[in-house]
Structure 1
């Protein structure tokens, strides 16, 4: 039975899913302290750092604080996506450009057979995960509804303050959600409605981009919630 006020159309389901995830995430982030925000639970974490203290080759940001980012590669959980790109007719050269890797790396992935070993990915802090979502949603708005000219990696002045970060973060999320909510069915089906310069948004109908944005928001917020649980278990305080 359909709950009064709920939607079952494709657009409505995605909007409702995002709204519910956003509501849960905001509650989960209440009481976030600076110490918890920047906590590195294991060695060699990716985090938010002063520019002169960056430990990764492509750390980025426009100000004094930058977000760690390693050398470009394609994780194993994206091998199937590379195969889909090739099957759709994309050249190896275009795929390599899309992922910022070499042609040889793409060919290695396409030639792979057998089971995949899990990726060895760095653990990231709450600060990193929030920063990642912040610049991606700022860029998602800019390259779909804005002037489509600013580099997403230079749009967010990252802060070591949890309170300042959240004060800046939620308006960015809500602006994106408000603009998405006004879209027409024709716009949702338009390939390239988003021209986001990283990844494959420009090659997909916007409804697929929207699905991906939901996935990105939900899985990073789930990771943040787990880190908050671990912090509370170890130090006895969390919101």
Structure 2
């Protein structure tokens, strides 16, 4: 920050990180076409699809196009976190509710010993990654700065048009970014400042939720960038 004193408070650091990630993402997403956006790199990929062509049990969306979503489960890489939550006092019933699984399934996870088998994670399209990010940011904004009443699953109208998807996505990201400027230190430390229902937001201080949102944005955008590289390498450009 030439000529200015750089702020190092928590909110400024998180906002600067997000701004830089967004700038890089905008560059990497420039010129995205519909065919590349919907390209399935391997059989069984998750994507967005016409409602009547959905192939996953919990695909969701309010319009003609839905985004793939599988059956609820606790992934192997979250077993240790589940154990930590129980040790910190969270009830098995609350964990089961958060993951949309049965109490018995949580108890199985807690009783598991040894090294769990790695999760079989579906390969996803650029459309899926972008749609997933859009859905998360739209839902978390609604349940943090909005009216806190709309189902996050109906907030994003998925589309096969890459240009329209990006236009809508950046509008949502812009609204999120503008709301960050209104935050106070007290709100950063408020547990449950975000009431987003799919995850641990209601149980976390908002500074942690905000940091997790940055991480989600960064890692999905990195995946999208790699998919673009693979598309170009195969002669799709």
> TM-score normalised to the size of structure 2?
0.96
Retained in 1: the 8 A contact 2:58–2:68? yes
Matched, 1:158 2:158: yes
Aligned to 2:205: 205
Aligned to 1:131: 131
Which blocks of at least 5 consecutive residues in structure 1 are unaligned?
Answer: none
Query: Partners in 2 of 1:72 and 1:159 — Cα distance?
Result: 25
Which blocks of at least 5 consecutive residues in structure 2 are unaligned?
Answer: none
Q: Deviations over 1:40-67 (max 9, x none)?
A: 0100001000000000000000000000
TM-fit CA distance, 1:84: 1.9
Instruction: Output aligned runs, 1:38-53, within 5 Å.
Output: 38-53=38-53
How many aligned residue pairs are there? 236
Task: Give the secondary-structure state (helix, strand or coil) at the position aligned to 1:158.
Answer: coil
Query: Partners in 2 of 1:122 and 1:8 — Cα distance?
Result: 39
Aligned to 1:121: 121
Retained in 1: the 8 A contact 2:36–2:236? no
Cα-Cα RMSD = 1.4
Change (3 A) 1:10 1:3: farther
Instruction: Output aligned runs, 1:1-239, within 5 Å.
Output: 5-237=5-237
Query: Partners in 2 of 1:5 and 1:171 — Cα distance?
Result: 30
Change (3 A) 1:6 1:76: farther
Query: Partners in 2 of 1:93 and 1:3 — Cα distance?
Result: 54
Q: Deviations over 1:68-119 (max 9, x none)?
A: 0000001112222212211111111111011101111111111222223221
Task: Give the secondary-structure state (helix, strand or coil) at the position aligned to 1:115.
Answer: coil
Query: Partners in 2 of 1:218 and 1:113 — Cα distance?
Result: 32
Change (3 A) 1:37 1:186: same
TM-fit CA distance, 1:3: 9.6
TM-fit CA distance, 1:4: 5.1
TM-fit CA distance, 1:9: 2.1
Retained in 1: the 8 A contact 2:45–2:122? yes
